[in-house]
A = this chain, B = another copy of it.
């Protein structure tokens, strides 16, 4: 049944694809990747279940695309927050604060993107995602060292450390344990947590005059 795609057919197809991606992203934000089944995505986007695989070769590819779609937005927000004329310390804190606020306001999506066990195909995307944050931090640390604002250090190492620090304390297993109470403080004051994290990151990069 090969036939020539018309302009109209192509536009319609692109539109459906966007609807599928958006529906899948909303499902992930509500219930993690486990909730983004093909059937649920079809229902949510009001697309016939059988037609999903006309847009994505398979489930793994759909999930990988949703991952890219969601993470490009997240990384973009953090990057944008750091692109100001302020000091490197201020720029670092601005990026960190956007990351933390988004994670605290949308914990299910943040967990899905950073830590939820996923298909190996998606793990590859996640590696790029964590790396994208590390690169933003690495550039800032390099600038801060050059400006004499931060301690001398190996920027790539500190950048990886910052990503791990944020992931673990805001999203990862130890945050989840915090959520379930026990010995740790509940997060009844997100602003307080963000202030603590700011101080932690400034110490980590060795900010000299802040």
Contact = CB atoms under 8 A, between A and B. Distances in A.
A153 interface: yes
A126 B173 contact: yes
A36 to B, nearest CB: 17
A75 to B, nearest CB: 15
A81 interface: no
Instruction: Indicate the member of A159, A172, A175, A176 with the most B CB atoms within 10 Å.
Output: A172
A190 interface: no
A193 interface: yes
A196 B160 CA distance: 13
A12 to B, nearest CB: 38
Interface residues of A, number: 45
A200 B157 contact: yes
Interface string A157-168: 111111111111
A130 interface: yes
A173 B204 contact: no
Interface in A95-130: 117-118, 120, 123, 126-127, 130
Instruction: Provide the main secondary structure of the chain A interface.
Output: helix
A165 B201 CA distance: 11
Interface stretch (A15-23, A24-32, A178-186): A178-186
A118 B117 CA distance: 8
Contacts of A200: 153, 157-158, 161, 204
A106 B196 CA distance: 34
Interface of A: 117-118, 120, 123, 126-127, 130-131, 134, 151, 153-154, 156-169, 172-178, 183-185, 193, 196-197, 199-200, 203-206
